[in-house]
Amino acid sequence: MSEEEKIKRLIEFRGKLEKRIDEIQQELEDLQNLMEIIDGFLLEKGFRRPEMPKEEMLTEKPEKTEVLSEYVAEFPIKTVTGEKLAVIYVGDNIVRVVMNKDKNFRDNIPPFRQFLIERVLLKMQEKDREAARRGEITPDKILSYSIVKEGDIIREIIIRNVNEERIRDLKSSIRWTLEKMYEKMTSA
């Protein structure tokens, strides 16, 4: 193959690349527009507090009202058999995991400490501390978490300073952790 043919092929290939880049950019714009439409619809329709008959409103716990008004999305965590383990509430830069009241998840049941705390939360926190040291984020944006317990029974996990990517990671990590903990609790 001569130099002229190589150059001609490279020019054709470059043209195809430019065309493909334009297509991908257009697809990305379309997807972003679709996300905006979905977000708008969900905020408008999906996350409003439902109106309830007066009898039901009287029996509603104030804590539940507070949770719903502060957070914009909720994701139940269930086993494959449909057993409810917890609910993840997602708000603006915050994730709150409320354990089902009939589940006594103890903090010493693996993989809670070894995986969720040490390998997920502490690793994210350390990445943020490093980013703060480099000046990429301010110290008040470092991920923080607290665990609300009654004795050694976990009732809630509150995680602050989370972004969308971390919310996805946290949801899957928390789901996996609670499923494994529940398996250990029920097989014992």
pLDDT in tens, 127-176: 999 999 999 989 889 999 999 999 889 999 999 999 888 988 999 999 99
pTM of the complete model:
0.61
pLDDT per position as a tens digit, 39-75: 666 666 554 433 333 333 333 333 343 444 567 888 9
Rounded to 5°, the CA angle 132-162-160 comes to: 90
Give the DSSP letter string of the chain.
--HHHHHHHHHHHHHHHHHHHHHHHHHHHHHHHHHHHHHHHIIIIITSPPP--HHHHHHS-HHHHHHHHH-SEEEEEE-TT--EEEEEEEETTEEEEEE-TT---BTTSTTIIIIIIIIIIHHHHHHHHHHHHTTSS-GGGS-EEEEEEETTEEEEEEEES--HHHHHHHHHHHHHHHHHHHHHHHH-
Q: What is the pLDDT of residues 97-140, one digit of tens each?
A: 999 999 999 989 999 999 999 999 999 999 999 999 999 989 88
Question: What pLDDT score does 45 carry?
Answer: 59
Residue 39 pLDDT: 64
Cα 56 to Cα 45, 50, 64, 129: the distances in Å are 21, 11, 13, 46
What pLDDT score does 21 carry? 85
pLDDT at 76: 92
